[in-house]
Amino acid sequence: DTAVSQTPKYLVTQMGNDKSIKCEQNLGHDTMYWYKQDSKKFLKIMFSYNNKELIINETVPNRFSPKSPDKAHLNLHINSLELGDSAVYFCASSPPRRSGANVLTFGAGSRLTVL
Amino acid sequence: KNEVEQSPQNLTAQEGEFITINCSYSVGISALHWLQQHPGGGIVSLFMLSSGKKKHGRLIATINIQEKHSSLHITASHPRDSAVYICAVSINFGNEKLTFGTGTRLTIIP
């Protein structure tokens, strides 16, 4: 199946721990994103990579570090987890605009709960 | 004030009704997206618009760039259309760095 795949789907951890969420897309898209959906269901951009290069870095604490080993993968590593990091994290990918296609594609989300 | 405002926040309608969800934005944009988030949490991109109108099945999306306004219409609504519909705008031309509205929760009653 062509898709954006995120793992894990659920993650429960203690405050202060370090955790990673992985994302892979097999759509051949150039650009990948991390979005955060908070407890009020509001979505916000965190990061975007284009062909492994960081192009968007919103006001996100330094504890969050994205890593893109190749254009098909964008992983999110979070250090020293805090209660406020509890949220659903969505990975997404998109092709270049010049392709004319509307194919912003989201992963299923990773629900992070920090205790 | 959010740069992207949606109305209504909640909408309940009977099956078969014509549905309209509105989105207004306050910044210059390169494109506007309509997204659907199902009760299970998954997000699907419905439309990306930079002008005019697009149609896909029973869904129609329109945008008026001068008025900074977009509408999403659903004809012959069905209970499976029940979801949260989210408007989002992209300011950049090179990527989908989206600014999101707060969503409209639509419930279609059989």
B42-60 pLDDT, tens per residue? 999 999 988 999 999 999 9
3-class SS at A25? strand
Chain B CB within 8 Å of residue A44 CB = yes
Contact call for B48 and A102, based on CB within 8 A = yes
Residue type, position B91, single letter: I
Phi-psi region of A21 (alpha: psi -120 to 50; beta: other; left: phi over 0): beta
Sort out which chain A residues have CB atoms less than 8 A from B100's CB and list them. 42-44
Q: Tens digit of pLDDT for each residue in B85-103?
A: 999 998 876 667 789 999 9
Residue of A nearest to B54 (CA): A102
Q: Tell me, rounded to whole angstroms, the distance of Cα A79 from its chain centroid.
A: 15
Q: How confident is the model at residue A109 (pLDDT cuts 50, 70, 90)?
A: very high
Q: Is the pLDDT of residue A53 over 70?
A: yes
CA dist B7 and B36 (Å) reads 15
* CA dist B15 → A62, A66, A113, B12 (Å): 48, 44, 36, 10
**Residues of A with Cβ-Cβ distance to B103 under 8 angstroms:** 41-42
Asked if A97 and B93 come within 8 Å (Cβ–Cβ), the reply is yes
Q: What's the pLDDT at B102?
A: 92
Q: Which two tokens stand for residue A11?
A: 């993650």
pLDDT at position B80, please?
95
Query: DSSP E strands: which ranges in chain B?
Result: 4-7, 10-14, 19-25, 31-37, 43-49, 52-56, 59-64, 69-74, 83-90, 98-100, 104-109
Q: What is the pLDDT of residue A59?
A: 76
- Which of B56, B90, B53, B96 is CA-nearest to residue A104? B96
Specify the pairing of strand A73-78 against strand A19-25.
antiparallel
Q: What is the pLDDT of residue A60?
A: 85
Q: Chain A residues with CB inside 8 Å of B95's CB?
A: 31, 48, 50, 55-56, 94, 97
B3 part of contact set with chain A, CB < 8 Å: no
List the one residue out of A42, A75, A43, A82 whose CA is nearest residue A61. A82
Q: Convert the pLDDT of each residue in B66-86 to its tens digit.
A: 999 999 999 999 999 999 999
User: How far A70 CA lies from chain B's nearest CA (Å)?
Assistant: 18
Q: What is the pLDDT of residue B98?
A: 86
pLDDT at A98 over 70: no
Proportion of chain A in helix, strand, coil states, percent, rounded to 5: 5, 55, 40
Query: Over chain A, what is the mean pLDDT?
Result: 90
Chain A CB within 8 Å of residue B48 CB:
yes
Kindly tell me if the per-residue pLDDT of A13 is higher than 80. yes
**CA dihedral over B4, B7, B9, B14, signed as positive or negative:** negative
